[in-house]
Structure 1
Amino acid sequence: MNPQRPAGPGASPRLAGRVSTKVAVCGVFVAANFMAIMDTTIVNVALPAIGHDFGVDLSGLSSVNIGYLVALAVFIPVSGWLTNRFGTRRTVLTALLLFTVASGLCATADSLEALTGYRILQGVGGGLLAPVGMTMMLRAFPVAERLRAQQYVMLPTTVAPALGPVLGGWLVDTASWHWVFLVNLPVGVLALLFGAAALPDFPGPGTPRFDALGFVLAGGGLAAVLYALTTAPDRGWGNGGTLGPLAGGVASLAVMVVWELRSRHPLIELRVAKDQLFRTTQVVLLPTGAAFMGVLYLYPQFLQTGLGYGALHSGLATFPEALGMLTASQIVPRVHDRLGPRLLMVVGGIGAALIISVLATLMTTPHPLALYPSMYLLGTSVGLLFASAQNAAFVTIPPSRTADATTLLNMQRQTAGAFGVALAGTLTASLARPTGATGAYPTAFLALAGLCLGASLLALRISDRRVREAYEADAPASSSAKASRLGRNVER
């Protein structure tokens, strides 16, 4: 398949010559991921208003987020099979339609039960959007051009989590909680129309049959683990409601690994993890993702409980993190060839650890003006690591296996985020009893800093030589000089 052709099977003849493959893929990917990622944070701000309308206290609203999370977890493992079976175009448009329709239904919900059901439908679409969208990007862009593409691709993953609380707080304050769902409709409809008219198809290698047992083991196991991690801070790790799902989920995933490695037609081709570069980057991204999501969970809480910020103000104070990650997405393509991914990842991990440690210090003696640049620098450091690691993860993965690789990456990403929030919440809750709520935050932040430091040490195992060789083997002639420069300047 030629990744630079202007249009693929299924693209509208009217737009085939006007919209390039790369523009079409980037446009749909950014819009779809922006909605799906922002939805994980924007709803949290609206929960008090939802509870007030439905006559339910906050503790009873957990099903709104847990239903979404569980559906997300169940359908991430099946995304690779659907992509290989039906192609990227049909799969991503179906997921977009599900997510957009479910968003409209959520806004019309007149009971907690209805809202939970519609959120589950949203989770089905959201679970497919990220991995399928990433597969499209990997197949549309050759190895040498992916870092440039990340300048646009990182927009949803960096801005959406930070924008969610800000936009959600403003919509709830000025309109109603229904608008945190209605805001998805114009984005979803435009993405669907544009995608239906211009999006090419990247068919996979095909799949002989559906691995039903693998689906149950993978989807059920991941859902159980994420459910346990999500509820652990409130219930406690020794509670049966936490230990049962956690043990069952881990056991299910362990059996899934054995089954998938022996199956003739696995749902997820786990052998893709035999690739040393892909495997190592996932090990690096796991603690980094956990620390990052842990900070995003605790930081607004500290601003509200420690400094008395409102929900909207705390969201605005968190937003510099997104600007820092956007800055990093512009820096990495310019210095990657000269420095190599390993150094960028190590520097990013160490920088994140130092900044989180500074935030821990600032929490004992708060200086509000120092918090904003600290969050910006944290976003920049994490962005250096994320952009370099995500690019390196796929440079040695063949196109036929990209759907399987993106499925594993998104399973890792969801687990890392849930673990980071669970760790941060547990530490804060346990330490708040002897020290008070505010005094618990510095220790929790130092633990998250330790995760980033560990990630930087793990990044030392990244092979710049493997990345250079992949560039030289895959880069088009126009980029051969860049690949050679990487080879001359990076001697590993």
Structure 2
Amino acid sequence: MKGGPSPKVVVCIVYVAAMFMAAMDATVLNVALGTISRELNIPPAASGALNVGYLASLALVLPVAGWLGDRWGSKRILLLALGLFTGASALCGLADGLAELTAYRVLQGIGGGLLAPVGMAMLFRAFPPQERAKVSRALVLPIAAAPAFGPIVSGLLTDQFSWRWIFYINLPVGIPVLLFGLLYLKEHKEPEAGPLDLPGFLLSAPGLALTMYALSQGPVLGWHSPWIAGAGLLGMLLLAALVVVELRAPKPMLDMRLLRDRLFRTAGLVGMCSAAGLLGMLYVFPLMYQYGLGASALETGLTTFPEALGLMVSSQLVPWSYPKLGPKRLIMTGLLCTTAIFVLLSFVHEGTDPWLIRSLLFGVGVCLGHTVGAVQIASFANIPPSSMGRASTWFQVQNRLGSAIGLALLSGILAAVGTGAANAAGVMEPNLTAYRSALLGAAGFLLLGLWFASGIRDSDAAATLRKRDDPAPVKTGGERSSPAEG
């Protein structure tokens, strides 16, 4: 349509709304699982299928999302995914049994798996590298803030209305954004997308789904379970075969050659570790505060909420701090400060002032928000628009695996140490050592990310540091054409 809003504004609005909705949906269910189990008369253990179905279907479509956007049109696929996610949300709210609800969660997972890579590719195509620091506020908010909002929204809706509203809440967001995108989004196709890499899809889809299943259910069913061990082993074998196949494919679905770009490779590993640490902390600390220190679910949600406020603040500061400090110093400073805060959170006890805890979590949002924003800006500095779909797919796969690995390992620490211990009278009491050990494990992920970040070179991200009107550096015959060769 002529006379409409700027294409850049349109992409930002659709991306932020869609990703915030999808990211929050991943956390709202956990708070309501107990209520859903009681109302639908299903065992609490069986309700885990709702999360498994969502994660498995998301993992199935995630690898092919970039190719679908390139081949069939990014607008078409994004709106299809958004419509599927929104429609499945309505169906989830109407479900009368576990089988129905699980099936609709699978549909939600398919929509959610397509949204992130296609939306990110559209965003980075719309904004050249030198403008991406300014758009960082659109990148940080939906990915990192939504997990903090989810438990509060879920607790309020479940207590005051019904668990069904945790799904209905997506409708007043999804429907207007779908119509807005239909009117104003611009279509984009890649003429060189090529045919579907069928061998890559047949290896990546089940390989990633089985690996995600093993990582998410291992702490629940036990790592000794034949189902978990078998799924994990088969998933890793399929992913290993995928690497070999994709390196030989002329048009791979998951383009491993993108990892030749030193900055994309290194920043991706930092992002993976950051996702493991952040999502791990947002899983462990609420458990510690609620079950270890006796806080209510609402108190826990309100106490962790300042983390989201910190992320909002960081999203406003990154456009200034990124060009001033450069990606390496900004990422390393954020990781180092967040690691220190995680260690301090592990010392929280019953007598700790709640406002001190909220201040620490606000600091997590500010510090790690800088890291997340800088990683996303720098990662795609040298990726050409024609490869953006596959690059965003690879970036999302890494982050999903990072989150799953973080939750799996920290859940394993909780199980190994034991969240309960008998006192002298033989009465079971919360074992805070388990939660504290897990929080230190989350800090360990950030330290690993800090080690990877030490290999970042600001010169590799020069395109994101130049002002809009600055000329690109002139290459001489002795210079390499891309830091990917480094």
Separation of aligned partners in 1, 2:162 and 2:107: 22
Deviations 1:154-208 (A, max 9, x none): 2212321111110011001111011000000111100110000011122224433
Aligned partner (choices 57, 81, 102) of residue 116 of structure 1: 102
Separation of aligned partners in 2, 1:468 and 1:480: 11
TM-fit CA distance, 1:365: 6.0
Aligned partner (choices 392, 405, 408) of residue 422 of structure 1: 408
Deviations 1:428-474 (A, max 9, x none): 111016855322111111121122122112211101011125654xx
Separation of aligned partners in 2, 1:268 and 1:18: 35
TM-score in terms of structure 2 length: 0.92
TM-fit CA distance, 1:421: 0.9
Give yes or no for contact 1:270–1:404 (8 Å, CA) kept in 2: no
Question: Match of 1:57, as an amino acid?
Answer: P
TM-fit CA distance, 1:36: 0.6
The corresponding residue for 2:442 is 448
Give yes or no for contact 2:214–2:232 (8 Å, CA) kept in 1: yes
SS in structure 2 of the partner of residue 95 of structure 1: helix
TM-score in terms of structure 1 length: 0.91
The corresponding residue for 2:475 is none
Deviations 1:401-434 (A, max 9, x none): 0111110111011111111111111101110168
Separation of aligned partners in 1, 2:146 and 2:122: 20
Which structure is higher in helix share?
Answer: 1
16-25 vs 120-129, which deviates more?
A: 16-25
Question: Match of 2:449, as an amino acid?
Answer: A
The corresponding residue for 1:6 is none
The corresponding residue for 1:362 is 348
Separation of aligned partners in 1, 2:164 and 2:420: 40
Separation of aligned partners in 1, 2:309 and 2:141: 10
Separation of aligned partners in 1, 2:181 and 2:120: 15
List aligned pairs for 1:39-438, cutoff 5 A. 39-363=25-349, 366-432=352-418, 436-438=430-432
SS in structure 2 of the partner of residue 340 of structure 1: helix
SS in structure 1 of the partner of residue 224 of structure 2: coil
Deviations 1:196-249 (A, max 9, x none): 001112222443322222112111111111100101112222322221111111
Deviations 1:8-33 (A, max 9, x none): xxxxx2xx322110111011101110
TM-fit CA distance, 1:285: 1.5
Give yes or no for contact 1:352–1:381 (8 Å, CA) kept in 2: yes
Separation of aligned partners in 1, 2:35 and 2:442: 31
Separation of aligned partners in 1, 2:366 and 2:145: 13
Deviations 1:263-304 (A, max 9, x none): 233222221111111000011112221111110001111111
Separation of aligned partners in 2, 1:304 and 1:102: 31
119-128 vs 243-252, which deviates more?
A: 243-252
Give yes or no for contact 1:340–1:464 (8 Å, CA) kept in 2: yes
Shift in alpha-carbon separation, 1:465–1:190, aligned structure 2, 3 A: same
Shift in alpha-carbon separation, 1:83–1:104, aligned structure 2, 3 A: same
TM-fit CA distance, 1:361: 1.4
Give yes or no for contact 1:288–1:452 (8 Å, CA) kept in 2: yes
Aligned residues: 464
Question: Match of 2:109, as an amino acid?
Answer: G
Shift in alpha-carbon separation, 1:193–1:275, aligned structure 2, 3 A: same
What percentage of aligned pairs have identical amino acids? 40
SS in structure 2 of the partner of residue 400 of structure 1: helix
Give yes or no for contact 2:303–2:354 (8 Å, CA) kept in 1: no
The runs of 5 or more residues in structure 1 that have no matched partner are 1-12, 482-492
Question: Match of 1:314, as an amino acid?
Answer: T
Shift in alpha-carbon separation, 1:454–1:265, aligned structure 2, 3 A: closer
Shift in alpha-carbon separation, 1:71–1:365, aligned structure 2, 3 A: same
Question: Match of 2:326, as an amino acid?
Answer: G
SS in structure 1 of the partner of residue 388 of structure 2: helix
Give yes or no for contact 1:432–1:438 (8 Å, CA) kept in 2: no
Question: Match of 1:442, as an amino acid?
Answer: R
How much is the aligned-residue C-alpha RMSD, in angstroms?
1.6
The corresponding residue for 1:10 is none
